[in-house]
Structure formats: structure tokens, C-alpha cells
Amino acid sequence: MNERTSALSTQEGGDHYKRLGHYQPFEVLHKWLTPEELKGFAKGTAVAYLAREADKGGRLDIKKAAHTLLIYLELTEPTAEQGPATETKQEVGGVGK
């Protein structure tokens, strides 16, 4: 059986979050924020890593952006009881995505 490693059990660029205790900040935010707020946080964090990539972290920042999105997907993955996730497309500036 091919089991994947949880994104929450790894960290790109250090271990500072893993040293905080049992819960990583993303797990706490998952409990505190609404689903839309959590999605916005994940997207904003990923964009911030990508925007600074050329000036700061290089390839590591791209890995951090991907890791952030993997954590979001893992935390919001629907259970068998919930059924498949449904998402709607939003329009930005009058143009559908």
C-alpha cells in the first residue's frame, strides 16, 4: 500500500514550527477560521512566498508555497461521510476564472 506522508509532519526550511508543540499554526487556524478565511490565508501565504522568491528564498520559497497549499488541501479534504468537495468559480473583474 502506498501511503503518503502528511504535509503537517514535514517543514520546508527549518523546524521552528515543529518545535512549537503538538499543533502547528496552520492546524490552529483551521479550527479558528471559517473555511473561506482559511482558504484565503493559504492562498495569500502561497502568493507571498512566490512573490518574494526571486529576491529572498529562491527555490525554497517555491517549495514553501507548494507545502502551504498541500497543508490546506490535507486539512480540508472531505471525509467519506461528507462526499466530494464542491467549489464554485468566482468572477474577478467581471471575468470568470
Question: Averaged over 36-57, what is the pLDDT?
Answer: 95
Handedness of CA 79, 7, 26, 96 (dihedral sign): negative
Half-sphere exposure of 18 (CA within 13 A, CB side): 9
Tell me if 61 sits within 8 A of 53, measured CB to CB.
Answer: yes
Percentage, residues of the chain above pLDDT 90: 47
Residue pLDDT, tens place only, 50-66? 999 999 989 999 999 99
* Residues 69/46, Cβ–Cβ less than 8 Å: yes
Mean per-residue pLDDT, 61-87: 82
Distances (CA, A) of 12 to 57, 65, 79: 11, 10, 27
Determine contact, residues 6/74, Cβ cutoff 8 Å. yes
* Residue 37, pLDDT above cutoff 50: yes
Length in residues, the chain = 97
Q: What is the mean pLDDT of the chain?
A: 79
* Cβ neighbourhood burial of 85 (10 Å; 0-12, 13-18, 19+): exposed
